[in-house]
Amino acid sequence: MQVMGKLIVFALLCALCSVFSEPSQKVRFKTSPNIVFILTDDQDEILGGMTPMENVRKLLQEQGTTFSNMFTPTPICCPSRASILTGQYSHNHDTVNNSISGNCSSPYWQNTAEQKTFAVSAQAAGYKTYFAGKYLNQYGTTNAGGPEHVPPGWNEWFGLVGNSKYYNYTISDNGKAVKHGDTYSTDYLTDLLANKSSEFIHSHMSTSFLDPFLVMISTPAPHSPWDSAPQFSQRYLNLSAPRGGSYNANGKDKHWLLRQATNPMVDHSVKYLDNAFRKRWQTLLSVDDLVKKVMTALSDSGELDNTYIIYSSDNGYHLGQFSLPIDKRQLYETDVRIPLVIRGPGVSKNVTRHELVTSIDIGPTIVDISTGGTGNFPPTMDGVSLMPLFNVTDKPKWRTDFLVEYQGEGSPLPPPNCPHGSAGESQCFPDCVCEDAYNNTYSCVRTMDLDGKVDIMYCEFTDTETFVEVYNHTVDPHQLKNIRNTINPQVLVKMNQRLITLGACTGKTCRAPGSYQTYASRWMQWALESLNYLTNQLFLIASI
C-alpha cells in the first residue's frame, strides 16, 4: 500500500510540475484568491456617507486599508460605472452621461467597451463570476436590448433593469425578466442582493470549491427614491445635513450653472435636502447589514481569509453646497471624492493610505488579483493596479494627477413649472434649481502630492474659452475662492497643457508622469502555497 501511495504521489507531483511549467493553463487551487466587490450608488465621503457603516468599519476598515484620496473621474452614475468596469476614462469608453445617446448601455457600448470589462478578464482567468444589482442606468431598457441581454464575462447574472429602485422593479435573472413588488420580506432590493450573493457563495463552495469566484454586488442605496427598510425608518430623525464649508455658499465666481442657483436657498429646499440626508443614511443601514451577511457567508465557507473585499461608490453627492440642493454631476469635492476600502490577503490592517487613486484603478486591480498579482492587465485600461499599495511598508512611486471629465445632459424643452427655466437645462428640482444642462460640459486636471503640500484643480468649460475655475485645496479645501485671476499665469499654462494631454490619453499614456511598481512575486507566492498544500495532502494519502 505504501509503494502504491508513493507512486500516486510521484505521478501527481509530476502533473503538478507540468502545471507550473505551463502558466497559460487555467488550473486553480484553493489558494487562488476570491474577489468580492461591493459598489454603492451615490455614497459620498465628504458629508459623512460612511458614518452609518458600523460593519464596514469593523469588518473592512479595521481589517484592511482605507484610501483617503479616492476619486471618480466622472461624477455621475453611468459614466463612472463604465469607468469602473473598463478601467478607462470616459473619453475612451465613450459613455458620457446617463442617456442612451450618451452611450449608457447602448448597442455601441455593448459591441465595444463592454467586451473588455474586468469580468471578461477574470472569467478568462478561470474565475466563476456573479453579478447582482444595478449595472448601468439604461441596462435592460428597450433601446438597450431589453433584459435578455446578459453582459459578457458573467457566469451568473442578476441585474436590475434601469436605474436604482428598492421596490417595484424588474430583474434580469440570467436574461429572464422577473418582476418584483413592494413586499419587504421578498422584494426589498438591498436585502435581496445580500441573500442572493450569500446563496451564490455557499452554492459555489459546495459544488465548485476549487474554482475562485468573483462576486460584484451593486446596491441601489443610497440613491433616490431613498426607501429604507421598515426597521430603519425612524433612525436619524433629528439629524440635518452638514452645514459649514461650502454649504449655502454663493457660487458667483463659478460657471453659469452654479450662478443660477438661488442664494441663499429657500426654506423648502433646505427641508428637502435635510430629509434626503436622513433617508440616505437610513438606506445605508441595509447596505451595512449586507456587508455583514456576505462576510458571514465567506467565513462560514472557510474563504474569508482567501478573499479580497473591495468597497466603493460610483460617485459622491452634494446637499446644499454652493446652494445646489441635491445631486452630483459637478466638479466639486463633494461629488468627486468617494470611499474606497480593501481587505484581503496581504492587505495591511487598520491603516490609511494617502496616494491618489481613482475609479479607473478598480478594474486593473481586479484583473491583477485574478491573474496572480503579476501586474498584468489589458493595455486598453487607463488605470493601474492598486496591489502595490496593499502592504503599508511598500512605498511605490505613484501618480500625481488625474482627469475629471463630464458631458452635460439636458432636455430639449424648458423644465416644467419653472418660469425662468430654459431649454437645455435639466434636473431642476427642488424649487427650479437646475443641476445639469447640455453645456454643463467640463474637463479638469487635479494635481496633488503625497504630503499634501500641492493640491490644485484646474477646470475648463466647453461653452467658454475665456473662463476657467482653479482651486488651491491646501488653503481652500471647500473650493470657496476661484483663484483664476491671482494664480501664477505660468501655472495656468502648465495645467492647461497637462489637461490637453490627459484629455487625449489612452492606456499607459494616462499613467504618465507617475510610475508604478508591480509584484510578480505575488503569483509565485500563491503558487508555492498551492504546492505546499497539495504536497501535504498527497503525502497524507501515501501514508494511508
User: What is the DSSP pairing of strand 307-313 with strand 34-40?
Assistant: parallel
The C-alpha atoms of residue 117 and residue 83 are separated, in whole angstroms, by 9
The C-alpha atoms of residue 428 and residue 517 are separated, in whole angstroms, by 46
The C-alpha atoms of residue 115 and residue 162 are separated, in whole angstroms, by 20
8 A C-beta contact, residue 73 and residue 359: yes
Residue with cell 501527481: 12
Contacts of 86 (CB under 8 A, 6+ apart): 92, 93, 113, 116, 117, 118, 363, 380, 381
Catalytic site residue from 77, 428, 432, 510 = 77
The C-alpha atoms of residue 96 and residue 78 are separated, in whole angstroms, by 8
Task: Give the CB-side neighbour count of residue 533, counting CA atoms within 13 A.
Answer: 12
How far the first Cα of the chain sits from its last, in Å, is 8
Strands (E), 328-463: 340-343, 351-353, 357-358, 401-406, 425-428, 434-437, 442-448, 455-461
The C-alpha atoms of residue 460 and residue 470 are separated, in whole angstroms, by 9
Q: Is 77 exposed, middle or buried (0-12, 13-18, 19+ CB in 10 A)?
A: buried
Residue with cell 433612525: 235
List the grid coordinates of 241: 445635513
Which segments of 213-264 does DSSP mark as H helices, in order?
A: 256-259
The C-alpha atoms of residue 388 and residue 125 are separated, in whole angstroms, by 21
User: What is the DSSP pairing of strand 213-218 with strand 34-40?
Assistant: parallel
Distances (CA, A) of 233 to 154, 236, 281, 402, 525: 35, 9, 10, 39, 48
DSSP string, 250-302: --TTS-HHHHTS-SSPPHHHHHHHHHHHHHHHHHHHHHHHHHHHHHHHHHHTT
List the grid coordinates of 407: 458631458
Output DSSP code: residue 59: I
Helix H, strand E, coil C: the string for 474-487 is CCCCCCCCCCCCCC
8 A C-beta contact, residue 361 and residue 71: no
Q: How many other C-beta atoms are found inside a 10 Å radius of the C-beta of residue 99?
A: 16
Is 444 annotated in the active site? no
The C-alpha atoms of residue 309 and residue 64 are separated, in whole angstroms, by 9
List residues bridging with 34 in a β-sheet. 307
Active site residues: 77
